[in-house]
Amino acid sequence: MDTLLSPVPFKSKMAAGFRRLGIDPDDANGLFRRATAAAIATLRPLAPIFAAANHFLNGCENFFTRFFFPSPPVDHASRLPDALLGNIVSRLPVKDAARTAALSRRWRPVWRSTPLVLADADLLPATSAVSSVLAAHPGPFRCVHLTSTRMAEFHGLLTSWLQILAAKGVQELLLVNGRWPHVLVLPSTFLRMATLTRLYLGLWKFPDTAAVPRASFFPNLLELGLCSVAMENKDLDFILDRSPVLETLCVQGDMFLLRLCLVSQSLRCVQIIGPFEEIFVVYAPHLERLIRSQGNKASYQKKNGTPDVSRTKVRIGHSPKLHLLGYLELAPGKHMIEVGSTIIKAGTRVSPRTMVPSLRILAMEVRFDIRNDAKMIPSVLRCFPNVETLHIKVKKPLTFFWHSATLSSSCSHLH
């Protein structure tokens, strides 16, 4: 994955600092590149452009000319309706999209009237080229990916870019700080992008939201992805509170966000990757899927006052539509499950307060060679009486997977 990013040597002062710590600067640089590439791979949506887009128009022209009008050649592509031409241009890499203005008088206004895809990875040098495109195009922008610019060196320029995008309009924004240091404070300008429908942030320090005026900053935001973003609970609460139609939330590896509290009228799917002390579904009346994975497993022990995130408490509050939950690790010291105000243990008695009747799909990770793990399964299943599909990931020493078992009738004796 690190091939996505070209190596950028550290400055001499920073390299000397790493050497004093006994770290080879080249090794550190490679680590940062791999971390950045992983963040981009995690956050980046499917690229909304054609892989061979620069050949698309020539291919159309050759097709029509060869099979329908062998002689004389006619520019049939230019006869397409304006809406279709705009759709074609909006899916081209930005350099090719701009070049279509030179095709003919018919194509000249199409580029300026079409929401564009802008990815700085397609432009060299990225900083000046991005500035030129943002200045020349009146907007809006369908999709903007900024992953290759050296944010630490052009932080002021990034602020101006975000101001332009906020003024001209952008639907999808991917911002990854791909160069050291990774703890740059993200300009708060993005909080004023009311046109955003998808927002993905990686390797930033979230701006302080305490002094931000109360308003609905993201009235159209449907998807939010956060990867290794240093933020506090109040910052995520701020975003959720001001995103009235947000449906999908993905959080991975956030450094300060150890307790995730979900309060949202609109969330339907939440994916959590990495260690958390607590995941608490406080109030999410439309939440359907809660998906959690450990990600790259590491040791998260309590040292020098650092919170212990080796065990996660999963608390399920008001979520009447929740139908998919997993993976729950039943190994000792991994997951503590709480339904309502009751912690589920082996032998816990079932009551309406400890049941989630809406759940249909449940995924668990179990070590059957550990007696206490196996004894937890009936207790967990009693809390989810209507589970139809159970996915069990069997940890070592066993190496098989058992899944997709219909349980409604076979587990009726547990209730």
For residue 164, the surrounding DSSP H or E stretch is helix 155-168
What pLDDT is recorded for position 289? 96
pTM reported for the whole predicted model: 0.76
Residue 16 is given by DSSP the state H
Distance in angstroms (rounded) separating the CA atoms of residues 363 and 361: 7
What pLDDT is recorded for position 195? 94
Longest dimension (CA), the chain: 84
Where are any strands of DSSP class E within 55-140? 116-119
Q: Which residues pair with 190 in a beta bridge?
A: none
What pLDDT is recorded for position 45? 57
Mean pLDDT per segment of 10 residues, for the chain of length 415 residues? 45 62 62 58 54 46 45 63 76 73 72 82 78 88 85 80 93 83 79 92 86 78 91 89 94 74 95 86 96 60 47 88 89 73 78 90 84 80 92 67 44 41
Instruction: Name which of 351, 342, 365, 361 is nearest 407 in CA terms.
Output: 361
For Cα atoms 162, 252, 282, give the angle at the middle one, nearest 5 degrees. Answer: 100
Asked if residue 105 lies in contact with residue 130, where contact means CB atoms within 8 angstroms, the answer is: no
For Cα atoms 229, 230, 232, give the angle at the middle one, nearest 5 degrees. Answer: 115
Half-sphere exposure of 414 (CA within 13 A, CB side): 23
What pLDDT is recorded for position 300? 39
Half-sphere exposure of 398 (CA within 13 A, CB side): 13
Strands 223-227 and 248-252: parallel
What pLDDT is recorded for position 217? 82
Adjacency order of strands within the sheet including 342-343: 259-263, 278-283, 312-318, 335-339, 342-343
In this structure, the chain runs to a length of: 415
